[in-house]
Amino acid sequence: MDTKPFQKQAEYYIFSELLKYKFKVAEPFFDEEGTDLIIVQSIGLKSTKFLKVQCKGRNLINGNSFVKIPKFYVKENFVVFLYITDKYKVDNLYLFFPEDFKEWKINSKHEYILALNQKKISTDYFISKLFNQKTAESLRGLLNKVETKKYTSVLIDGIFLEKAMEKTLEIYSEIWPQKEFIKPDLITVLKNILNSYDRHTSEKKVVNCYVFLSESFNLDHRIDCGLVSSNFTTKNGNEAKIFINRTDEIIGFEILEQLDRLINNDNIVLVANDRIYEDELEKLSQKNIEIIVVKFDQHNGNDMFSKFRWGDIIYPLGFSIGLKPHEI
């Protein structure tokens, strides 16, 4: 049986109820650690507190059911909404906070388990978990208590990165005609970009690298992108994750949408060099938001004007193809 339509019904219902109680809600671009929705404290702030929301939907018309939550999902800013339709077709919405999972059973796969049936959802335990004015205030209280966490997101235009690698090889082939250059993997390139230009500092920083690849171009010809997702550690000891999005849509629009989702919570490093980004960058600069832009310099085909701090993409790519500091 296909449960996806019902799960979507649950998510829409939860989204609607959160809006009713005046929460600011966003749908993340990537599904990470069970996050279906994000509740943010303020859209207008550069750095904002947020809660990760997992949405669960269960239909009890046929009797028993259960919910499973991987233990590692449960952090201080993680909550679960459970939407249930019973045999009378009555909709109920329940909210579970991080401390609630201590009361659930744990299976051999390190998952929290909650059994469900018509009798159980009539107990005082479930009645106390109903999402209403009281639990909404508790949710707001949790949001206010959550520690503001610093993230850096690197947004990479794959078309530009391919052109930049070709330009890098062209430049250094003329300078070092006898040298044999290596074809780097994507992690090496990302490490060199971060080492060269990421100036954002915070304790226990997490770096998310979003790479947008066009189906019409072939970055793999210049850079080994033979991975769907992977983790690595930066020079400063920060955890970094890679998310690859292959699309036949216009990459610039996809990146601008992602930028809009992240700008209020994350430090941004934008690796791009297209005029499609100029208007949005100008608006953000007027709001005193800081972004680091990695692009071509004026001698190598710069097509994009930006008031933000910027770095030349050729520099980290030179390291990526095997050059030493004195050769760049």
| Start-to-end Cα distance in the chain | 59
pLDDT tier for residue 1 given thresholds of 50, 70 and 90:
very low
CATH number of 60's domain: 3.40.1350.10
Task: Look at residue 2 in the predicted model and tell me its pLDDT.
Answer: 46
Q: Tokens at residue 253, please?
A: 């629009």
Who has greater pLDDT, 120 or 287?
120
What is the mean predicted confidence (pLDDT) over 134-149?
86
Q: What is the pLDDT of residues 175-232, one digit of tens each?
A: 999 999 999 999 999 999 999 998 765 555 789 999 999 988 888 889 998 765 578 8
Q: Are residues 156 and 141 in the same domain?
A: no
Contact at 8 Å (CB) between 84 and 111?
Answer: no
Share of the chain above pLDDT 70, in %: 91
Residue 28 confidence (pLDDT) above 80: no
Among 98, 120, 145, which residue terminates a domain?
Answer: 145
Over residues 8-23, the pLDDT tens digits come to 899 999 999 999 999 9
Q: Are residues 322 and 214 in the same domain?
A: yes
Q: What is the pLDDT of residue 266?
A: 81
* Residue pair 295/276 in contact by the 8 Å Cβ criterion: no
Q: What is the mean pLDDT of residues 276-286?
A: 89
Give me the DSSP letters along 104-146.
SEE-TTSEEEEEE-TTGGGSHHHHHTB-SHHHHHHHHHHHHHS
Looking only at the bridges linking them, the beta strands covering 266-271 and 291-295 are: parallel
When mean pLDDT is compared across 98-102, 149-153, 268-272, the lowest value belongs to 149-153
Q: Clarify whether residues 135 and 203 are in a common domain.
A: no
Give the number of domains in the chain: 2
Rounded to the nearest 5 percent, the helix, strand and coil shares of the chain are: 35, 30, 35
pLDDT score at 325:
92
Q: Is residue 190 helix, strand or coil?
A: helix
pLDDT, the chain, mean: 87
Asked whether 190 and 242 are in contact (CB, 8 A), the reply is yes
Same domain, 283 and 167: yes
Whether the per-residue pLDDT at 167 is higher than 70: the answer is: yes
Same domain, 58 and 164: no
CATH number for 246: 3.40.50
Q: Mark whether 164 and 76 lie in a shared domain.
A: no
216: which 2 tokens?
């019409």
Single residue among 145, 175, 192 that ends a domain in this structure = 145
- Regarding predicted confidence, which is higher, 18 or 144? 18
Same domain for 112 and 27: yes
Average pLDDT over residues 148-173: 91
- Tell me the residue range of the domain where 71 lies: 4-145
Which residue would you say has higher pLDDT here, 300 or 213? 213
Task: Determine the average pLDDT of the residues in 266-288.
Answer: 88
**What residues does 269 pair with on adjacent strands?**
154, 292
The residue count for the chain: 328
Find the range with the poorest average confidence among 26-35, 102-111, 186-195, 290-299.
26-35
Q: Are residues 205 and 286 in the same domain?
A: yes
Identify the CA nearest to 42 among candidates 57, 20, 22, 64. Answer: 22
Shared-domain flag, residues 42 and 157:
no
Same domain, 87 and 173: no
- Out of 103, 121, 145, pick the residue that ends a domain: 145
Residues 182, 135 share a domain: no
Mean pLDDT computed over 279-298:
86
Query: Rounded mean pLDDT of 249-256?
Result: 93
80, 221: one domain? no
Average pLDDT over residues 303-312: 86
